[in-house]
A and B are shown apart, each in its own frame.
Chain A
Amino acid sequence: MNKSRSPRTPLCCLGAGLLLITLGAVSLCVGSYPLSLGQIGALLTGGMGDTIQARVFFTLRLPRTLMAAVTGLALGLAGGVYQTVFRNPLASPDLTGVAGGASLGAAAVIVWGAGGAVEIMAGAFGAGLLSLALVLGLVRACRTDRTATYVLAGILVSALAEAGLMLLKTLADPERELAAIEYWTMGSLSAMTSGKLAAVLPVAVGAAGILLFRRQAALLTLGDESARATGLEPGRWRALLLGLATLMVAAVVSVTGVVAFVGLIAPHIAFGLLRRRGGAFLPLCGLVGADLLLAADLLARTPGSGAELPLSIFTVLFAAPVLCMLMLRRRGDGDAA
Chain B
Amino acid sequence: MLLEATNLCVGYRTPVVQGASLGLEPGRVVGLLGPNGCGKSTLLRGLCGGARVFSGRVTVVGRDALALSARQRARYIALLPQRVGLLPGLTAGEVILMGRYARGGLFSGPTPADRALALDTARFFGVEGLWNKDCAALSEGQRQLVHLCRVAVQQTPVLLLDEPNSALDFGNTHRLFGALRRWAGTQNRAVLAVLHDPTLALAHCDLLLLMQGGKLLGTLRPEDGPETAARALGQLYPGIRVRRAAGQLFCTLDDYEKEP
* A interface residue numbers (CB < 8 A to B): 1-2, 4, 83-84, 87, 89, 212-213, 215, 218-219, 221-223, 225-226, 228-233, 271, 275-278, 281, 337
Tell which of B95-103, B201-209, B238-246 binds the partner.
B95-103
Expressed in whole angstroms, the minimum distance between the Cβ of B75 and any Cβ of chain A is: 7
Expressed in whole angstroms, the minimum distance between the Cβ of A213 and any Cβ of chain B is: 8
Closest 3 CB pairs of A and B: A223-B85, A231-B102, A277-B89
Query: In the complex, are the beta carbons of B85 and A221 less than 8 A apart?
Result: yes
Extra 19 A-B pairs, beta carbons < 8 Å, given A87-B86, A225-B81:
A1-B131, A1-B132, A2-B115, A83-B87, A84-B87, A218-B90, A221-B85, A221-B87, A222-B84, A223-B81, A226-B84, A228-B49, A230-B102, A231-B72, A232-B101, A233-B69, A275-B134, A276-B91, A278-B94
Bound-complex Cα distance A335 to B78 (A): 30
Query: In the complex, are the beta carbons of A2 and B119 less than 8 A apart?
Result: yes
> Closest chain B residue to A214 by CB distance?
B109
Bound-complex Cα distance A87 to B84 (A): 12
> Closest chain A residue to B49 by CB distance?
A228
Residues of B within 8 A of A230 (CB): 74, 98-99, 101-102, 150, 154
Residues of B within 8 A of A337 (CB): 88, 136
Residues of B within 8 A of A1 (CB): 119, 128, 131-132
Residues of A within 8 A of B78 (CB): 229
- List 8 A-B residue pairs with CB atoms under 8 Å apart, sorted by A's residue number: A87-B86, A212-B107, A221-B90, A226-B147, A228-B70, A229-B48, A229-B80, A230-B98
With an 8 Å Cβ cutoff, the count of chain B residues facing the other chain is 45
Query: In the complex, are the beta carbons of B87 and A277 less than 8 A apart?
Result: yes
Expressed in whole angstroms, the minimum distance between the Cβ of A215 and any Cβ of chain B is: 6
Query: In the complex, are the beta carbons of B90 and A2 less than 8 A apart?
Result: no
Residues of B within 8 A of A277 (CB): 87-90
Q: A222-B84, A229-B78, A231-B70 are in contact. Are A2 and B131 (CB under 8 A)?
A: yes
Query: In the complex, are the beta carbons of A231 and B90 less than 8 A apart?
Result: no
Q: A221-B85, A231-B70 are in contact. Are A276 and B134 (CB under 8 A)?
A: yes
Q: Which of A83, A215, A221, A223 contacts B83 (CB 8 A)?
A: A223
Residue in A1, A219, A223, A228 whose Cβ sees the most chain B Cβ within 10 Å: A228
> Closest chain A residue to B95 by CB distance?
A222
Bound-complex Cα distance A219 to B131 (A): 17
Expressed in whole angstroms, the minimum distance between the Cβ of B19 and any Cβ of chain A is: 24
Bound-complex Cα distance A320 to B95 (A): 33
Bound-complex Cα distance A232 to B75 (A): 11
Expressed in whole angstroms, the minimum distance between the Cβ of B76 and any Cβ of chain A is: 10
Query: In the complex, are the beta carbons of A229 and B94 less than 8 A apart?
Result: no
Task: Tell me whether B40 is interfacial, beta carbon within 8 Å.
Answer: no
Query: In the complex, are the beta carbons of A229 and B91 less than 8 A apart?
Result: no
> Closest chain B residue to A226 by CB distance?
B84
Expressed in whole angstroms, the minimum distance between the Cβ of A236 and any Cβ of chain B is: 9
> Closest chain A residue to B79 by CB distance?
A229
Query: In the complex, are the beta carbons of B101 and A219 less than 8 A apart?
Result: yes
Expressed in whole angstroms, the minimum distance between the Cβ of A80 and any Cβ of chain B is: 11
Bound-complex Cα distance A228 to B79 (A): 9
Bound-complex Cα distance A1 to B115 (A): 11
Expressed in whole angstroms, the minimum distance between the Cβ of B130 and any Cβ of chain A is: 11
Residues of B within 8 A of A271 (CB): 89
Bound-complex Cα distance A221 to B84 (A): 9
Bound-complex Cα distance A281 to B134 (A): 14
C-beta contact mask, B50-71 vs A, less than 8 Å → 1, else 0?
Answer: 1000000000000000000111
> Closest chain A residue to B102 by CB distance?
A231
> Closest chain A residue to B87 by CB distance?
A221
Residues of A within 8 A of B70 (CB): 228-229, 231-233
B residues 17-56 in Cβ contact with A at 8 Å: 45, 48-50
Q: Which of A213, A222, A229, A275 contacts B85 (CB 8 A)?
A: A222
Expressed in whole angstroms, the minimum distance between the Cβ of B84 and any Cβ of chain A is: 5
Bound-complex Cα distance A228 to B69 (A): 9
Query: In the complex, are the beta carbons of A222 and B98 less than 8 A apart?
Result: yes
Residues of A within 8 A of B80 (CB): 229
Residues of B within 8 A of A84 (CB): 87
> Closest chain A residue to B93 by CB distance?
A2
Residues of B within 8 A of A223 (CB): 81, 83-85
Residues of A within 8 A of B154 (CB): 230
Query: In the complex, are the beta carbons of A218 and B83 less than 8 A apart?
Result: no
Task: Tell me whether B189 is interfacial, beta carbon within 8 Å.
Answer: no
Query: In the complex, are the beta carbons of B87 and A87 less than 8 A apart?
Result: yes
Expressed in whole angstroms, the minimum distance between the Cβ of B78 and any Cβ of chain A is: 6
Residues of A within 8 A of B136 (CB): 337
Residues of B within 8 A of A83 (CB): 87
Query: In the complex, are the beta carbons of B91 and A278 less than 8 A apart?
Result: yes
Task: Tell me whether B73 is interfacial, beta carbon within 8 Å.
Answer: yes
Bound-complex Cα distance A83 to B71 (A): 24
Expressed in whole angstroms, the minimum distance between the Cβ of B133 and any Cβ of chain A is: 10
